[in-house]
Structure 1
Amino acid sequence: MSIIIYVVLFLSVVILLSSLFVVRQQTAAIIERFGRFHSIRQSGLNIKIPLVDRVAGRLSLKIQQLDVLVETKTLDDVFVKLKVSVQYMVIREKVYDAFYRLDYPHEQITSFVFDVIRAEVPKMKLDDVFVRKDDIANAVKAELNDYMTDYGFDIIKTLVTDIDPDAQVKAAMNRINASEREKIAAQYEGDAQRILIVEKAKAEAESKRLQGQGIADQRREIARGLEESVEVLNRVGINSQEASALIVVTQHYDTLQSLGEETNSNLILLPNSPQAGSDMLNQMVASFTASNQIGEIIKRQEREQGLKNKKQ
């Protein structure tokens, strides 16, 4: 009798334990009774009738992500691979539809992503695909929402996370970018060299201008000094021609003296004989005398010619 009691107690415990089950947080459990849908149980401790009810399945109510890799062709005939990430979740009020109406929701979502991508991307050039990736993602989300909502799924977000053109196309794009950057660098270098040349020319022109101004000032002062020297010599009875000759000879000897003071100078003044100064003075006086005589002859001829013209 006691054995029967123990067996009954054991079976009661087993039945009691089998009637209890736990549903985790953010999860829904589907209960079937004799193979037919009975109820949906939420998180916590739940009770079912042993041998009558069974947990047919559990659905996560968390946000899930499905990554889909799609290869397609752009408007400019470039093959490109796009990675689209779809974030979705089961609608709590439509757990029944999500569990019973679709066997493989991942495959359904993947099919729609393929369909939308291969309809949108061939309308764009490769550069536009990079620029308008958000438009592509929005188109995928709109299409999925219209279809998947009826089956108990809410599309939270779609993202185009990667755009990978063919390897040869990427290499060509890199070469184009490198060429453009080299072109810009060459333009900047050319502008810099042109600026340097212009500024150097301006500096040389300014230097020449200042140098010319300095030479002009120097010659002006020399002429003023010679004029004053001639005036002083005229006061003591020396005429202008003799004074000029004397000044030239004096400068000649001053130059010789300055050359003698320079020990490292390689300059040689020719002629440099002792009688060079007197010879130069005699030649200059003779030149001035001859010049005066020629001038007198020309003036006399001009006067005679003027008288003839008056008589005529």
Structure 2
Amino acid sequence: MGNLFCCVQVDQSTVAIREQFGKFDEVLEPGCHCLPWFLGKQLAGHLSLRVQQLDVRCETKTKDNVFVTVVASIQYRALAERANDAFYKLSNTRGQIQAYVFDVIRASVPKLLLDDTFEQKNDIAKAVENELEKAMSHYGYEIVQTLIVDIEPDEHVKRAMNEINAAARMRVAATEKAEAEKILQIKRAEGEAESKYLSGLGIARQRQAIVDGLRDSVVGFSENVPGTSAKDVMDMVLVTQYFDTMKEIGASSKSSAVFIPHGPGAVRDVASQIREGLLQANNAH
């Protein structure tokens, strides 16, 4: 109906190409335009100015001969001021962009090792964008953004990479576990050494207290009972301790059989041995 009344409507974010007798005449902006068909003017077509996206999957190999599939996302749009170039110069815009992406990726990735490919994907995207910008600007298109959205190695390569990573992590875990066990053993040994040291101090203090107690008992008994010597008092104390020990052994239900000399002569020998030990302790003290 619009053509019947020589009027045409162009939608927003779109331009129309008008021809006269088959020759480019003018780019029509969004809005309503007069199109006198009887003067040979007609619409050749419309061109969208919206940003479009093209995802390109390119298979190539790295420097270490690993085949990967690189997925690039290209965002582009036609320039309104060069709409005639964008409309007439390219018959297959998406195919042209894809060809340039293939060319750049297959020239860049083979120079990199697999690990470097993942680390330098931004550099690859920048190289693709620069090449596309130079090429597509001649055809009236602008490259808005280029992204490398995925790098997919072969499934066997991915599995091997995961196994290598898992083995490395297990090795680190084993090292840390061994280090922790080493620290525990060192701390345990330090604790045992400290315990033995304190136990030795306790035994030394106990023996010193026994010596001091016996000495005080002998001195006190000699002073309170006239006519007794220190030797007599010491013998009596030792005999008393001897019988107390025998009583405790006999009263214990869990004690094992103990065979010790129990005659008077044996007591005299024990007394002489203890006395000599006490004298040595006093001399040392």
TM bracket (short chain):
0.7 to 0.9
**What secondary structure is seen at the aligned counterpart in 2 of 1:17?**
coil
More helix by share: 1
Residue type at the aligned position of 2:23: R
Structure 2: distance between partners of 1:42 and 1:247:
126
Q: Mapping of 1:1-312 within 5 angstroms? A: 17=4, 19-50=6-37, 52-235=40-223, 236-259=226-249, 262=252, 264-271=253-260, 276=262, 278-283=264-269
**1:271 Cα deviation from its structure 2 partner:** 4.1
**What secondary structure is seen at the aligned counterpart in 1 of 2:161?**
helix
Pair 201,108 (structure 1): closer, same or farther in 2 beyond 3 Å: same
Q: Which has the larger radius of gyration?
A: 1
**1:70 Cα deviation from its structure 2 partner:** 0.6
The two structures have a TM-score, normalised by structure 1, of 0.80
What are the superposed Cα offsets for residues 183-220 of structure 1, whole Å, 9 maximum, x if unpaired?
11111111111111111111111111111110010001
Structure 1: distance between partners of 2:112 and 2:227:
106
Q: Which moved more, 1:99-108 or 1:46-55?
A: 46-55
- How many residue pairs get aligned? The number is 271
Alignment gaps of 5+ in structure 2: 277-285
Structure 2: distance between partners of 1:251 and 1:233:
16
Structure 2: distance between partners of 1:80 and 1:21:
50
Alignment gaps of 5+ in structure 1: 1-13, 292-312
What are the superposed Cα offsets for residues 157-187 of structure 1, whole Å, 9 maximum, x if unpaired?
1000000011111011000110111111111
Pair 283,166 (structure 1): closer, same or farther in 2 beyond 3 Å: closer
Structure 2: distance between partners of 1:16 and 1:100:
23
**1:240 Cα deviation from its structure 2 partner:** 4.2
**1:250 Cα deviation from its structure 2 partner:** 1.1
Report the RMSD for the aligned CA atoms in angstroms. 2.3
Q: Identity percentage over the alignment?
A: 42
What are the superposed Cα offsets for residues 208-243 of structure 1, whole Å, 9 maximum, x if unpaired?
111111001000111112222333455443344443
The two structures have a TM-score, normalised by structure 2, of 0.87
Structure 2: distance between partners of 1:284 and 1:77:
91
